[in-house]
Structure 1
Amino acid sequence: MELLILTPGFPQNEEDTTCIPYLQDFVLGLQQYYPDLHIKIITFQYPFQRGHYTWHGIPVFSAGGANRKGLFRWLTWRRVKRQAAQWINKETVVHSFWLTEAAEVAADIARKNRLKHIATIMGQDALLTNAYLQRIPFGELQVVAPNEKAAGYFHIHTARDVAAIIPHAIAPIPFVVSERDIDVLFVGSFIELKQPFLFVEVAASLSARWPHLHAEMMGDGLLLQEVTAAIQEQSLPITLHGKTDRKAVHAAMLRTKVLVHTSRYEGHSTVISEALACGCRVVCFAVGHAAHPHIEEVADIAEMIAAVENALSAPSLSSGYYPEAQQEALQAYMHLYRG
């Protein structure tokens, strides 16, 4: 079977571990468990350089869109379609990620060549703010949601049901018993959606009652300088690491008691799944994630601070947890591909 994946972005090389971790795990999982599946990948915007390369032995074509609009976007889409025409055959299944340009272009490719098309909801693309929801010709397209929450948003905004709910399951992370010397950890982009200032607020409140609090933040983004200034102004015990590769994030999680996830929306939070796999307790808002006894969902900042205090007072976890099994999730996708 041939599988053609279309995505807005993909790692530029095998060391680029921070680019869409779930998609990396997904592709490598398919490669591991279904070696007879021939995978090819086309990425629209990132890497910014146009050209062919291989990633873990998988052919990848970058259209090099670099997030440019207007005529440049049209040229990017034309490059994608030309490359797809070279790679597809009558047995190809097209799988697009995000209900955005990848899904729209993939739908056109699938329709013209009478191919099966699967599209996976990844985040805010299920919300009404996504203009592509009005443009994508859903027709025979089979949409997959990572959880009931995302499926519900999709139904509200399109009056359509998803074909399946398949969680964004991650690959197993080696668990090593470590000293839990990091009290609270933030992992994510420093952007408005992720609300990093709320983590600073939580740490400030906790440090007044926990004088030896050890807090760390990992990530980069437009708000990094402002967050840094806020930490310095209040002399808070928060260590900033900037952009951090995935192995280093996992190493930090294995030393962490509580992941404080301040994002206001997630299609399905990979970082929550990773934290559970590393034996962290998790405190978060009502974002997309699996139900689990070690996840405390809160409604506001006051509840978040209280929940983190309770989690810090609880015994450290001695093993990792996987609410979603990757092999089962991959089997569910293979069922769609073959169906």
Structure 2
Amino acid sequence: MADRKTFIILTPGFPVNEADTSCLPSIQVFVKNLQKERPLLNIVIISFQYPFIAKKYKWHNIQVIGLGGSNKGKINRLWVWMQVWQTLKTLNRQNHVIGILSLWLGECALIGKKFGRRYGVKHYTWLLGQDAKKNNRYKYLMNTLPEELIAISDAVAKTFYESYGIQIPSVIPIGMDGSLFRTMQSERTIDIMGAGSLIPLKKYDLFIDVVRAVKSKLGSINVVLCGEGPERDHLYELIDQYGLQNDINVAGEVSHGSALLLMQQTKVFLHTSSYEGFSTVCSEALRAGAYVISFCKPMRKDFNHWTIVSSTEEMAEHAIQILKDESLDHSPVCTYSIHDTVREVLNLFEV
């Protein structure tokens, strides 16, 4: 039906099925709530690289077109781009495409912007983190206008301005979906928790340093670290070296729901990443009633129960203070609502 209003999201990756909850959980929450807010809108996801096989499928009744690029070489990437372009042409011919949203200032934004300009379709790029830094080659491949950009946080907008001298006017964080959290009170049996990909950027070696310092002051503690990645073996070596085998449980990759449940049992959530756009896990931990300590400050405003520090020593000191306090208030703190996120994005597209 050519008059059917269709909204297209371009992304490097998307869950392979509904059970794949650990793949871009914040994007999953956004898409689900976009569908709730506009149930008559035809939402189509085009995923460039992941899943690693080309296929079309339904995800919570939303059409997903996976090209299966698998992050292979230049020739394969060009082939994927050609397939995306042809897919966009078909969708535009068969539907009334009212907008294209590209996730990250990368290959999705390059194709989305060029297609939008060619066929008169409104297009926005959502900068979500690393893409705001200097030497983003895709930035130089496209004439990016400020009004076509969305930043996930004040910090991302600031980094992009420092990198390219362009001020992004729209800052839209991805908010929380309160329905994902258990309403019943959870016993806080986990002293310290961390969650994320075990990659160098996340600095989980510092996480272990902080745990070591906290243990030296408080004795035995219960720590859970969720995630998978190339740093896993190195982290195990550090845990063994410091004799923390009985204190730190490296839980591996867990489902999104399981991670939220663990947060609701946590007193202190540590985020040691050296750079973040707006770490959704920090917002989730706050919403789960945990206290958050991090190095990165995503927004100019402050949030209750979220402390920004500048060193591992300071992080350990704050964690010790919190864990010693027997009268902690574990009331949930909501940074932003996902309903507001969806409405702000839709307002940009005038939907």
- Classify the TM-score, shorter chain: over 0.9
Aligned to 1:160: 166
Decide which moves more: 328-337 or 151-160: 151-160
Aligned to 2:194: 186
Q: Is the 8 A contact 1:3 1:93 kept in 2?
A: yes
Shift of 1:199: 0.8
Aligned to 1:317: 329
Shift of 1:277: 0.9
Aligned to 1:295: 306
Whichever residue aligns with residue 93 of structure 1, its letter is G
Q: Is the 8 A contact 2:152 2:173 kept in 1?
A: yes
Matched, 1:58 2:62: yes
- Cα deviation per residue 1:110-132 (whole Å; 9 max; x = unaligned)? 11111100110111100104222
CA distance in 2, matches of 1:292, 1:140: 28
CA distance in 1, matches of 2:35, 2:328: 35
CA distance in 2, matches of 1:91, 1:52: 19
CA distance in 2, matches of 1:316, 1:247: 25
Matched, 1:255 2:251: no
Whichever residue aligns with residue 282 of structure 1, its letter is V
Unpaired segments ≥5 residues, structure 1 = none
What TM-score, normalized by structure 1, do the two folds share?
0.96
Aligned to 1:2: 6
Whichever residue aligns with residue 337 of structure 1, its letter is F
Matched, 1:327 2:339: yes
Secondary structure of 2:44's match? Answer: strand
Q: 1:111 to 1:335 in 2, by over 3 A?
A: same
- Cα deviation per residue 1:251-301 (whole Å; 9 max; x = unaligned)? 111110000100011111100011011000000002425621200100111
Shift of 1:139: 4.1
What TM-score, normalized by structure 2, do the two folds share?
0.93
CA distance in 2, matches of 1:307, 1:28: 36
Matched, 1:169 2:175: yes
CA distance in 2, matches of 1:12, 1:287: 32
CA distance in 2, matches of 1:192, 1:287: 19
Q: 2:317 aligns with which of 285, 306, 309?
A: 306
CA distance in 2, matches of 1:209, 1:144: 44
CA distance in 1, matches of 2:57, 2:328: 43
Aligned to 1:111: 117
Unpaired segments ≥5 residues, structure 2 = none
Secondary structure of 2:233's match? Answer: helix
Q: Is the 8 A contact 1:133 1:158 kept in 2?
A: no
Alignment of 1:269-280 (within 5 A): 269-280=279-290
Aligned to 2:254: 244
Decide which moves more: 154-163 or 72-81: 154-163
Q: 2:217 aligns with which of 199, 209, 213?
A: 209
Q: 1:318 to 1:308 in 2, by over 3 A?
A: closer
Q: Is the 8 A contact 1:127 1:154 kept in 2?
A: yes
Q: Is the 8 A contact 1:104 1:137 kept in 2?
A: no
Whichever residue aligns with residue 3 of structure 1, its letter is F
CA distance in 2, matches of 1:313, 1:119: 45
Alignment of 1:62-73 (within 5 A): 62-73=66-77
